[in-house]
Each structure stands twice: as structure tokens, then as C-alpha cells.
């Protein structure tokens, strides 16, 4: 039977500050098939969910005078970054911080949760999924869709992500063949390395061009592509070499929608996300990342019902 995966992007990040247990919990309640944590590492080798290792934008670290001297500048993957970096903190120190909304101007309602939620470990996120699975009984397991962030940087500082990701999945029963897991990365070297370590499905993330899909198919099982790449021809080309196609990122605010689907003039107002998702489902995609999983599930289910 055809299925199309709804992947909760950073949890239900349109409705809660991203990468928090509360964001993932809401995504599970809303029926997402997979929850997506981006992963970075602490100084003492613990995987935590953050979109990048600089945490000034998504935590209250700047309000902690005891960490003021940790602010620094470094080059990461060719980009100069200034702020506070996860590799300079132990997990105990990270746990003293509280998450903040990344997009306060577009998502002011989420700011009501600023200061309330901690930064979760990858273990805590998989544990949340495991508990939900237990409550569901025999129903499909919640999938886990981790992304390794800045893997070369972390390897370079002696904190490699790869084995830690696999170990965490194994600890929670998510490493067997057929487990609902995809591991994603923008870095092909990282994925090739992982291919030598696991049979779990791997996803090559692509932003600007599809590139040599035949080559990608040698080490990956799917591509995770920006919407601009998800043309009907692009989807067909990927399927021709047995790559699944997952598309990112679907967001309901006008800021992120094409002009014909905006409603009203405010960038923060919600437009017609349903229609945008429907357009892409019609191109034959196999899954999509969405900040509003309830919308994704509703549109996907209606689409499959009519198909």
C-alpha cells in the first residue's frame, strides 16, 4: 500500500519552540510518522537536539553570566560563527539552559513557552518515542529521523557523531533491520562512512541541485530535498535509481509560502499550507518535513483516501 511519510520537522516546531521534548510530544500526538531531531554534541560526548552547535539563538545562554566567557568565534564548515557552542558545555551545564523560540517575529505565540523547556538529549527523544509506542500497543512505531549536524567539525575536535547516533538507536531498540529510522546528512562523506557502519536507511540532503543521483544511490536510500528541487522530473529521476524522495520544509506562515497561497499581508499570518502540500503530493513524493504535523497528516490522509 502506498504511504507518504509525515516527518515532524524539529518536532511540531510551528507550535512549540523547536527541538524540545514538548515539540516532539505534540508532533506524536498530532500523528506524525517520524520525529526529526538535528543532532550536535556536548563536550562530554552527549548527543543533544539543536539545529546547530551555536546555541545563542535557541536558548537563554546569553542570560547566564556564568557562561559569558564561553562566547567565542570560530569557523565551522567554512563559516565564521560567533556565540556559544555545545562542544564547550557539559550535558549538566546544557541542562541548566532553557529553550527559546528561534523565530519570535514569525511565531510570537511560541514565545509564551520561552524559558520553560530544556534542551533534550537524543536518548530522551527516542525514549519519548518508545513510551508512545508502548501506549499505542501494536500500532506502527513512531519513526526517528536524526540529522548529523556539522559531522566533519565534530570529528575534527574529537567528538565524532556517527557511532554515538548508532549506539543511541541500538540502546532503544531502533537499530534492527526494518526499524523506522532514517539517518540524514548534507555531507556525503559522513553518509559514506555511515554506510560502512549500518544497514539503516540513509538520506542524502540536497539544497541546490540533485547532482549525480546514480552515485548517491550507491550509499543512500533516499534524498531529502529542498522544495525547489522537487519537480516532477526530479522525483522521477530519483525513483528511477530507487531513491525515495522526501521534501523539506513545509511551513504555514505566509513568509514561507508562494505568493498565490498567502492569506493577508503579514509574513507571520498563516496562509494555505494545505494547498502547498497537495501540490507536492501530486508529484509522487514519498515523504515531507513539516513544521505543522497536524496539517501534514490531514492533507496526506485526504490525498491517500482519494488516490
- In the list ligand G3P, Ca ion, none, the entry touching 249 (Cβ below 5 to 8 angstroms by class) is ligand G3P
Spatial separation of the C-alpha atoms in residues 259 and 279, rounded to whole Å: 14
Catalytic (active site) residue 9: yes
Q: Is 280 in the site for ligand G3P (CB under 6 A)?
A: no
Q: Which of 164, 122, 140 is nearest to 24 (CA)?
A: 122
- In the list Ca ion, ligand G3P, none, the entry touching 129 (Cβ below 5 to 8 angstroms by class) is none
Out of 19, 51, 150, 246, the active site residue is 51
Instruction: Give the total residue count for the chain.
Output: 307
CA-derived radius of gyration, the chain: 19
Q: Which of 268, 232, 258, 260 is nearest to 247 (CA)?
A: 232
Sign of CA dihedral 196, 51, 301, 273: negative
Query: Interaction with ligand G3P in 100-139: which residues (CB under 6 A)?
Result: none
- In the list ligand G3P, Ca ion, none, the entry touching 205 (Cβ below 5 to 8 angstroms by class) is ligand G3P
Smallest distance from the beta carbon of 181 to Ca ion, in angstroms?
A: 15
- In the list Ca ion, ligand G3P, none, the entry touching 289 (Cβ below 5 to 8 angstroms by class) is ligand G3P
Does residue 230 contact residue 247 with C-beta atoms inside 8 Å? yes
Cell of residue 161, nine digits: 557523531
Are β-strands 183-185 and 202-206 bridged in parallel, bridged antiparallel, or unpaired?
Answer: parallel
**Can you say how many angstroms the Cα of residue 7 is from the centroid of all Cα atoms in its chain?**
8
Query: Interaction with ligand G3P in 207-226: which residues (CB under 6 A)?
Result: 224
Q: Is 96 in the site for ligand G3P (CB under 6 A)?
A: no
Smallest distance from the beta carbon of 250 to Ca ion, in angstroms?
A: 13
The mark string for 176-195 relative to ligand G3P (x by CB under 6 A, - otherwise) is: --------x-----------
Catalytically active residues are: 9, 51
Residues that bind ligand G3P (CB under 6 A): 9, 38, 51, 147, 184, 205, 224, 248-249, 289
Amino acid at each position: 500500500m502506498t504511504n507518504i511519510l509525515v516527518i515532524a520537522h524539529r518536532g511540531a516546531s510551528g507550535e512549540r519552540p523547536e527541538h524540545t521534548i514538548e515539540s516532539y510530544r505534540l508532533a506524536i500526538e498530532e500523528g506524525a510518522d517520524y520525529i526529526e531531531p538535528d543532532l550536535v554534541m556536548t563536550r562530554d560526548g552527549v548527543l543533544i537536539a539543536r539545529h546547530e552547535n551555536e546555541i545563542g539563538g535557541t536558548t537563554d545562554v546569553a542570560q547566564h553570566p556564568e557562561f559569558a566567557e564561553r562566547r567565542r568565534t570560530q569557523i565551522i564548515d567554512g563559516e565564521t560563527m560567533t556565540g556559544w557552542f555545545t562542544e564547550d558545555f557539559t550535558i549538566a551545564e546544557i541542562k541548566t539552559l532553557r529553550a527559546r523560540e528561534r523565530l519570535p517575529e514569525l511565531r510570537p505565540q511560541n514565545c509564551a513557552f520561552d524559558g520553560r523547556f530544556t534542551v533534550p538529549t537524543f536518548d530522551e527523544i527516542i525514549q519519548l518515542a518508545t513510551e508512545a509506542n508502548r501506549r499505542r500497543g501494536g500500532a506502527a512505531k513512531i519513526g526517528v529521523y536524526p540529522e548529523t549536524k556539522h559531522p566533519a567539525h565534530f570529528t575534527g575536535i574529537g567528538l565524532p557523531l556517527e557511532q554515538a547516533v548508532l549506539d543511541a538507536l541500538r540502546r532503544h531498540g531502533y537499530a534492527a533491520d526494518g526499524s523506522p529510522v532514517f539517518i540524514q546528512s548534507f555531507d556525503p562523506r559522513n553518509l559514506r562512512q555511515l554506510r560502512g557502519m549500518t544497514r539503516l536507511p540513509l538520506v542524502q540532503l540536497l539544497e541546490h541541485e540533485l547532482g549525480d543521483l546514480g552515485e548517491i544511490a550507491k550509499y543512500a536510500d533516499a534524498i531529502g530535498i529542498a522544495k525547489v528541487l522537487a519537480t516532477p522530473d526530479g522525483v522521477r529521476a530519483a525513483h528511477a535509481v530507487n531513491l525515495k524522495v522526501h521534501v523539506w520544509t513545509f511551513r504555514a506562515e505566509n513568509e514561507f509560502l508562494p505568493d498565490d497561497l498567502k492569506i493577508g499581508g503579514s509574513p507571520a499570518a498563516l496562509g494555505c499550507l494545505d494547498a502547498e502540500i497537495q501540490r507536492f503530493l501530486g508529484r509522487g513524493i514519498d515523504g515531507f518535513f513539516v513544521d505543522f504535523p497536524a496539517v501534514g497528516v490531514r492533507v496526506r490522509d485526504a490525498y491517500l483516501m482519494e488516490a
